Structure 1
Amino acid sequence: MPLLRQTLLVALLALAIGTPAAAVDMPVPASGIPGVSDAQLSPDFWVARLADADKLVLDRAAIAALNERVARLDPSMHDIRHLPATLPRAQVTGWIGKLTTRPTKPLFDAEGKPVDASTIDAILGNAALDAVPAQVTPRYGMAVRRAALRGYPTDRRVFSRAGDTDIDRFQESTLFPGDPVVAVHTSKDGQWTFVVSARYAAWVRSDGIAYRDAAAIFAHADATPYRVITGAKPKTVYTPEAPAVSELQLDMGTRVPLDTTAPPDQPVNGQSPYTSWVLSLPVRDAQGALSFHPALLQRNQDSAPDYLPLTRANVVRQAFRFLGERYGWGHAYNGRDCSGFVSDVYRSMGVQMPRNTRDQSISPGLTHTLYTDKDSHEARLKAAMALEVGDLVYIPGHVMMVIGKVDGQPYVIHDVGGMSWKQPDGSLRRVVLNEVSVTPLLPMMFSDDATFVDRMTSIVRIR
């Protein structure tokens, strides 16, 4: 495609000399996404272009070392396995206070009405910070379902602008079934618990956590044999005999122990297990106590006996399993956001990353290159052209995963609200996406006069 090559050279020259980005002069299909054909929406297209598709990027020992380094060095991670028997009040209120503070900007409800001060007062009052004792005894627990992690002890959804109801500013992240947590505080109404997990500390609905001693919690989390969920979000089979584990969603990267006590020739929850994997899943009783119950995951649902090998082919294939999934800030909408997307993909290969975009981009445990206003267009562009499959590219508030090149131009897959690009008349065309999408990198405009590459803050390479 000589025209595409010529266009790329013009764009590169424009960036290198610091002039505004050139208008996109490449095929624009009906989708409005320049340079992306139907063929490029298949992982096979990108895997076929890799010369070393199945070569190990990191082996198991190297991944373990990477995870240990991130857990030890990254301040956003929490070592909940080695907490003391009691925690000082200042530590607990410090965790809560990072999220649960009085908003400094106006907020709006789902109907577009301003959230008044009395509503905020009630929510903050429910946090009951004054009830945190001088010494807190942590309670070990485990998530029994996919459960929202919130910045405040409320289900109320709030937004920065009236009518823009996609990004709930009280939503933070999500727990998955089997995630170990430490509970350190309960809301005034008892409906919410502030928990600390390995990657996040926030409020969760109290009935989403079941409790037991730490030894039992971590013995289950570490149990073998197990299955690793490699599909986007498969579910256990429907079973009226055990509603708590019926059609339970298991998101990509979740590690679930197998129940080795179930006789292979006897029914599990009224159904033969011979076509399924028998999982051991956490269940909460009426008093909040944790037990484990067998559940069936059909063998035709995507899972593996261990984490997938970390290869470029697997990175691409795992990323494409989310293609078209609705964008969900903080894992809302039963989906995920940009940083949740990339971390869940890498989690299926055993890599444990920080949860949020900013933490990922500057993590001292990850291999990253930072960019500031002192870095020239030429330096940024050179780095963009040297990107490799699996690299993570960060701009303020967003992350993209590199999947390869077409005619020398880098392409990315990312969970993104939309794409803007410059038309021949100089105007910007914006396409609303709100999904996991494939786009070229270089034409993407951050603003009227700056491209994504201009605003690049970091490149993280999982190596």
Structure 2
Amino acid sequence: MNEDSICNSIYSILNVDNKAVFDPTFWIDRLEEASSVLMEPVEIGNLNHKIASRMQEHQLENYYFNFNSSYFLEKERKVEKDLFVKEMEKINTLQNLMELSTKDLYTSWGRKISTLNIESLYKYLSNFENYKKKLPAYIQISFGFTTKKCSVKSLPIAKKISNSPNFPFQDLLALTTLSPGEPILVYQKSFDSRWYFVQSYFYSGWIKVDDFITVSRETFINYLSSDSFLVVTESKVETEDLAHFSKLKFQMGDKIILATEIETQQFYSKLGYCFPEGCYPLKILFDRSVDKSYKCEDGFAVYPLSGSKEVKRDFLAFTRENIIKQAFKMLGERYGWGGSNDNRDCSRFIMDIFKTFGLYLPRDSKYQRTMVFPSSFSFSSYISERKTILDKLLAVDLLFMKGHVIMYLGKLKDKYYVIHQESDFRRKNENGVFKIYDIHETFVMDLLFYSMNSNLTYLESLSSAITFKGVKFI
């Protein structure tokens, strides 16, 4: 890595003595068995199954849904009204709305707004209550796929709402993002018919009606069971420009189904030109805005992805070396709460890394901490004991504190280093005065900086750790 590529002010802010800490090879070279496989594919599959089972036991399927279960063998899919309302209210509570209404809020242009004042809040709640009363006794559930990169929101409101004028692109209502071709269960439209409540593999929430298409149960299952796919190992990729096409955006960890040679030839013969040389043919449901005459017979289209992009025909080998390489591919990228502005927050950063190995962690840090099975440690209140635990960990093990997840890198001299996606932190000067650094990015730091939520350092704030050392799931 070129040292000049990292701003010197960042070195100063982070108090970095050795600039090599920003280079993944520095941390890889320090490991004795960096290329040793931590878990084989069958073990990863078993761990995925255990996570899904545990989430189901705790009635948390809206945060981790298993699309490979026997659930889909049923001919008819429906849910009782009361259960559906309960699922909606998990992400959209009166308390959350009341809290929003009391904050200073800003538009995507950084202008202060009062959109969610008490009057409009009660108007929305009134509409929502009437909406719930008019729901049928049973909600029919359809199968579908996303057709573009889209935001999943806690409320069916298109406007981005931020609590910071400095970072107005952060959307407080955003839960996460879905990439094109993601499987979803489609429940019910909103009272203005512009949104639908859906369930993805790692979140439920509201997406726009133009962001997905419903399909038959047979098409849904056949598409998901395809063994011809790509795994995105680059941070972000997008398809090539072509007439009649909008570019599709994907991100690290996405699993994309490939079209066959026959499907590709048939589709491009309709377009009247050849499929671009050196591209991968991605099989994705067509965007609703495109002329229907270009659809394949089964409703899918073939999008070209340049062969120069970092993608693999299978999942990566689960080694510490590969995990570190994946993490550092996002170094310096902007922070994005709930996927705002096509960026990542702390838990999405972790989730996307492990998806490249076929390991599907829950989306939120809370469930990454409590629902994943590798060996774990709890931190005591004593600094010496905290350091003893850290000394037992290896690079890529995960550290947790309230509302945050961090990837451990290692100890250098007397400092413990990590890489994470974080919005801000604090430093204390010689006079004991705190200064806030609003950094909003993926960065490397040591654990002696102070968190924003207390007068404790990150080291003092740690609650638990997960290690992948010696883990077996046969």
TM-score, normalised relative to structure 2:
0.84
2:315 is aligned with what amino acid?
Y
For residues 286 and 264 of structure 2, the distance between their equivalents in structure 1, rounded to whole angstroms, comes to: 22
Offset at residue 388 of structure 1 (A): 1.5
2:26 to 17, 23, 45: 45
Residue 362 of structure 1 corresponds to 370
Tell me the alpha carbon deviations over residues 145-187 of structure 1, each in whole angstroms, 9 at most, x when there is no partner: 1110000011133345677635432111111111111011110
Conserved 8 A contact 1:113-1:162: no
2:325 to 313, 317, 322: 317
Q: How high is the sequence identity, in percent, across the aligned residues?
A: 23
2:98 to 91, 100, 104: 104
Q: Secondary structure at the match of 2:261?
A: coil
Residue 429 of structure 2 corresponds to 423
Query: 5 Å matches for 1:99-178?
Result: 99-102=91-94, 103-105=97-99, 106-107=102-103, 108-110=105-107, 111-114=111-114, 115-124=116-125, 127=128, 128-160=131-163, 165=168, 167-178=170-181
Residue 58 of structure 1 corresponds to 39
2:200 is aligned with what amino acid?
S
Offset at residue 41 of structure 1 (A): 1.9
Residue 457 of structure 1 corresponds to 463
C-alpha distance 362-448 of structure 1, shift in aligned 2 (>3 A) = closer
Q: Secondary structure at the match of 1:153?
A: coil
2:413 is aligned with what amino acid?
D
- Extract unaligned runs of 5+ from structure 1: 1-26
Offset at residue 216 of structure 1 (A): 1.4
- Extract unaligned runs of 5+ from structure 2: 1-7
C-alpha distance 135-162 of structure 1, shift in aligned 2 (>3 A) = same
1:171 is aligned with what amino acid?
A
Q: Secondary structure at the match of 1:453?
A: helix
Which deviates more from structure 2 when the two are superposed, residues 194-203 or residues 285-294?
285-294
For residues 406 and 40 of structure 2, the distance between their equivalents in structure 1, rounded to whole angstroms, comes to: 24
For residues 129 and 223 of structure 1, the distance between their equivalents in structure 2, rounded to whole angstroms, comes to: 38
Conserved 8 A contact 2:264-2:302: no
Conserved 8 A contact 2:275-2:304: no
C-alpha distance 205-266 of structure 1, shift in aligned 2 (>3 A) = closer
For residues 343 and 428 of structure 1, the distance between their equivalents in structure 2, rounded to whole angstroms, comes to: 32
Q: Secondary structure at the match of 2:185?
A: strand
C-alpha distance 34-152 of structure 1, shift in aligned 2 (>3 A) = same
1:359 is aligned with what amino acid?
Y
Query: 5 Å matches for 1:324-403?
Result: 324-363=332-371, 365=373, 367-371=375-379, 375-403=381-409
Flag the structure with higher helix content: 2
Tell me the alpha carbon deviations over residues 426-446 of structure 1, each in whole angstroms, 9 at most, x when there is no partner: 333433211011111234445
Which deviates more from structure 2 when the two are superposed, residues 228-237 or residues 413-422?
413-422
Offset at residue 104 of structure 1 (A): 2.5
Conserved 8 A contact 2:267-2:302: no
Residue 189 of structure 1 corresponds to 192
1:314 is aligned with what amino acid?
N
**1:78 is the counterpart of 2:65:** yes
**1:438 is the counterpart of 2:419:** no
Query: 5 Å matches for 1:404-423?
Result: 404-407=410-413, 409-423=415-429
2:357 is aligned with what amino acid?
M
C-alpha distance 399-35 of structure 1, shift in aligned 2 (>3 A) = same
1:200 to 199, 203, 227: 203
For residues 264 and 159 of structure 2, the distance between their equivalents in structure 1, rounded to whole angstroms, comes to: 46
Residue 5 of structure 2 corresponds to none
C-alpha distance 212-431 of structure 1, shift in aligned 2 (>3 A) = same
1:79 is aligned with what amino acid?
N
